[in-house]
Amino acid sequence: MSRLIHELSKLPGIGPKTAQRLAFYILGQPQEEISKLAESLLEAKLKITFCSECGHLTESSPCGICSRRNRDQSLLCIVEESKDVIAMEKTKVYKGLYHVLGGAISPLDGVGPEDLRIKELLVRLASNTFTEIIIATNPNIEGEATALYLNKIIKPLELKITRLARGLPVGGDLEYADEVTLGKAFEGRTEI
Amino acid sequence: MFLTSLELNRFRNYNDLTIEFSPQVNIFFGQNAQGKTNLLEAIAMLSLGKSFRTKKDDEVIQWGSETCFLKGMFVGEQTPETIEIGIGRAEKRYRLNHQSVKRNDILGQVPVVIFSPDDLQLIKGGPSNRRDFLDLYLAQIEPKYRFVYYNYSKVLQQRNRLLKEREVNLTELEVWNEQLVEKGAKVIKYRLLFIETTIPYIIQAQQQISNSRETLTFEYIGFRNQVLTNMSEEDIKKLLQEALITVRHSEIERRVTLIGPQLDDLRISFESGLELRIFGSQGQQRTATLALKMGLINKIKETRDEYPILLLDDVMSEFDDGRKRALIENLINSVQTFITSTSRNDFARFAYISDFRTCFYEIERGALKIG
């Protein structure tokens, strides 16, 4: 029992109390339910790999997005993590391809450019005919540093490089926006 | 804005305390080491979200306890406000009007100006004393500054870490350079603007206290002792870029960032150009610290349209009668003031203090007698 609690509490966002609650819940379940959970955990780990092209999580490489013909092959969107791809896909606005870096430059966490999938990115840029590169790293210090770095190394290739706009959330109120966001929204205003 | 009541649980030597205050003068008197300054510390903590006496906030938790709790009720021009802080060994929780918030949301809600015996370090001590002073009061006056400063310090940490790596990736360094210049220029711009707009208040206070005998100048000192006047953010960026080029080799050798607002200074000199820090008499230095703080009070009043709370930690013994009079006559009738002192009579000599609504509290071993 204590081993189960210990293992569960290693998961992100799960403290010892939650781990204990989960452990008791699991014990209360019928055996087949638990087998299903255990199998799906193992199966996920065994079957899911990284796409050789974009670095996104997938069961078969290249992944569903890279291998689908109807995606716009001239657009490439660079994101930090796989979960960012999933978030972007939910929008159904973007029809191009992705490149997952696997993180952002952060010396404090020991992550430098060589730890990100940047070499793979350069190979892709050289062998494909992208017309626009969209940098979609997070709008924080590390994401911004990564974007600047990418800009530096992609610029010589003379491709169009864009960044996602920063500004007001849809359905929000101006008065509740924090000053920095509002300031950015002002800088990035568009003509209507 | 003023504090109407304070509640402390297991805070320093106060086990369980609730006090109500006068909106004008509150005097804590008693022997040494009875807990007078602890009360000022608690009041400042409700305003700043941290202690002004220690960097380790869990030191304020009573010995033998694991948590402590502070609550202050404030009344201002607008609505009453309640600020609560819970401190544990590993974390702190803040609540503003019963809503859970972050420290940054508390900071600046209720501005305070603190006078303490350590203030002389502002003049005599190293540049970090003056930078901390600028940053502390800027954050209270300009809510945006906290964010600007936080972003800069993150960039600085990242860059310093990168410089410590065995082999520094120069393209990556360039990226952090750009960020350092951009975020650093913002910090400096805020400080320059703050200095420019606050100095008139400080000089005015200075002349009041010293009867115009001496005038001081205040200059922001950047990289290699360069005096920065209020320039545009673009110009500051250019300066930082140039400075970065000159230190490029030594930065890689010494493995640390050698330019930026974390190293700048505020230079205070006489009109003749002589530095107050070196050439000022003890008395002149004291007058200057008093002027700095009094100027700030008026600046806060001007920008926020209400006075800050004034905390005087055992400073009455430091000032001569002229300075005390200046302080009392100028401030005490409009600002809520908390004073600690070893004797009740310290104030009786100032007959005019009795015109104000003054409350006396005698402090003895963490207990309090209204007297």
Q: B126 and B221 share a domain?
A: yes
Shared-domain flag, residues B161 and B59? no
pLDDT of residue B352: 56
pTM of the entire predicted model:
0.83
| Residues A84 and A120 placed together within one structural domain of the fold | yes
User: Tokens 């951009």 sit at which residue?
Assistant: B182
Q: CB-based contacts of B60: which residues, under 8 Å, 6+ apart?
A: B11, B12, B41, B42, B45, B51, B54, B68, B87
Contact B175 A152 (CB under 8 A): yes
Instruction: Give the span between the Cα atoms of B252 and B174, in whole angstroms.
Output: 13
Q: For residue B165, which residues of chain A lie inside 8 Å, CB to CB?
A: 107, 112
B258/B346 same-domain check:
no
Q: How many CB atoms lie within 10 A of CB B63?
A: 8
* A contacts of B151 (beta carbons < 8 Å): 141
Model pLDDT, residue B202: 92
Chain A interface includes B369 (CB < 8 A): no
Q: Say which of B151, B154, B171 has its CB closest to residue A152.
A: B171
Instruction: Establish if A173 belongs to a structural domain.
Output: no
Size of interface A-B (CB pairs under 8 A): 48
Q: Where are the alpha helices (DSSP H) in A12-160?
A: 16-28, 31-47, 64-67, 82-91, 118-127, 141-154
Percent of chain B with pLDDT over 70: 94
Residue A172 CB coordination number (10 Å): 10
Is residue B262 domain-shared with residue B332, that is, in the same domain?
Answer: no
At residue B27, does pLDDT exceed 70? Answer: yes
> Which residue type is seen at A149?
Y
Among A residues 19-38, those touching chain B with beta carbons less than 8 Å apart: none
CB contact under 8 A, A180 and B169: no
pLDDT for B273: 87
Distance (Å) from the C-alpha of residue A148 to the closest C-alpha of chain B? 6
Residue B278 to residues B99, B126, B281, Cα–Cα distance (Å): 49, 12, 9
Say if residue B201 is in the same domain as residue B262.
Answer: yes
Specify if A187 maps to a domain: no
Residue A21 is part of which domain span? 2-47
Q: Which residues is B228 bridged to in the sheet?
A: B220
C-alpha B87/C-alpha B97 separation (Å) is 17
**pLDDT one-digit tens code per residue, B316-353:** 776 777 777 777 777 767 789 898 988 777 665 654 55
Looking at residue A86, its pLDDT comes to: 93
Q: Which of B144, B147, B175 sits opposite A145 (nearest CB)?
A: B175
Average pLDDT, chain A: 90
B142: closest chain A residue by CA: A179
Contact A141 B155 (CB under 8 A): yes
B169 touches chain A (CB under 8 A): yes
Within 144-183 of A, beta carbons closer than 8 Å to B belong to 144-145, 148-149, 152-153, 179-180
Contact yes or no for A145 and B143 at CB 8 A: no
Distance in angstroms (rounded) separating the CA atoms of residues B340 and A76: 66
How many domains in chain A?
2
B202 and B350 co-located in one domain: no
For testing the chain A interface, which of B172, B174, B176, B190 should be mutated: the one with the most A CBs within 10 Å?
A: B172
**ω into A62 cis (within 30 of 0):** yes
Question: What value does the mean pLDDT of chain B take?
Answer: 88
Question: B288 and B182 in contact (C-beta within 8 Å)?
Answer: no
Spatial strand order in the sheet of A160-163: A97-100, A75-79, A132-135, A160-163
Domain boundary among B305, B335, B362: B305
Burial of B303 from C-beta contacts in 10 A (0-12 / 13-18 / 19+):
middle
* Range in A20-24, B141-145, B251-255 with the lowest mean pLDDT: B141-145
Host domain of residue B240: 120-305
Mean pLDDT within B127-141: 92
Alpha carbon dihedral B338, B340, B341, B344, in 10-degree steps, equals 50
Contact A105 B151 (CB under 8 A): no
Q: What is the pLDDT of residues B194-242, one digit of tens each?
A: 999 999 999 988 888 877 677 889 999 998 889 998 899 999 999 999 9
Q: What pLDDT score was predicted for residue B221? A: 94
Together in a domain, A43 and A124: no
Tokens at B325, concatenated? 């009079």
Q: How is residue B121 written in tokens?
A: 């370090």
Report CA dihedral (A164, A166, A170, A173) to the nearest 10 degrees.
Answer: 180
The pLDDT value given to residue B86: 95
Are residue A149 and residue A81 in the same domain, yes or no? Answer: yes
For the ranges A11-20, A175-184, B331-340, the one whose mean pLDDT is highest: A11-20
Determine the pLDDT at residue B198: 93
Residue A56: inside a domain, yes or no? no
Confidence at residue A115, expressed as pLDDT on a 0 to 100 scale: 93
pLDDT tens-digit series, residues B95-117:
999 999 988 888 888 999 998 88
